[in-house]
Amino acid sequence: MSADRAAAHAPRLTLVQGDLTEQAVDAVVNAANSSLLGGGGVDGAIHRRGGPDILAECRALRASHYGRGLPTGQAVATTAGRLPARWVIHTVGPVHSTSEDRSDQLASCHREALRVADELGARTVAFPAISTGVYGWPLEDAARIAVEAVRAAETAVEEVRFVLFDERAYAAFAAQVR
């Protein structure tokens, strides 16, 4: 296999309780909304700490490829601005629904973020618990979907780090990774 085509494999999974914006990884994944123009939670923290260059690139993406916004389950990369990471991979999680099973859209966020990471050549990627805040997805179920999707991925990414903001989220993911 040529040196520049790293072997596709299941990445190593690590868990951290902390702040996604402080992770010194190649790429952090943003739990964005389809507007790509910022919000609260992780999205707010990334833009606040990462600075205006991130929003400038998001606006350029809206003006070029994503006129109607980034669809749920898809992912796109920008600079990470002042964050310790090199890139932000923005993805839009599904809003939790009790009447419709949107599990595959949540899994798609993880698959697509890793696909974009491979395009960038990122080898370490940090994910938040996508959709478990404003979008209301129960933590345990989101953790199961996220870990299964990452484990099933064929990617050159070497480390996927789930960065959980509090103990409850950490415990939910630890129960899946054990």
Q: Of 124 and 132, which CB lies nearer to ligand APR in the complex structure?
A: 132
CA distance 39 to 161: 23
Question: Is position 128 an interface residue for ligand APR (rule: CB under 6 A)?
Answer: yes
Catalytic residue among 4, 26, 43, 101: 43
Residue 73 within binding range of ligand APR, rule CB under 6 A: no
Instruction: List the Cα angle 28/31/32 in 5-degree steps.
Output: 110
Interface with ligand APR includes 129 (CB under 6 A)?
A: yes
SS (H, E, C) 123-165: CEEEECCCCCCCCCCCHHHHHHHHHHHHHHCCECCCEEEEEEC
Q: Pick from 70, 160, 169, 172 the residue near ligand APR by CB under 6 A.
A: 169
Given the rule CB under 6 A, which residues bind ligand APR? 19-21, 31-33, 39-45, 93, 128-135, 163, 165, 169
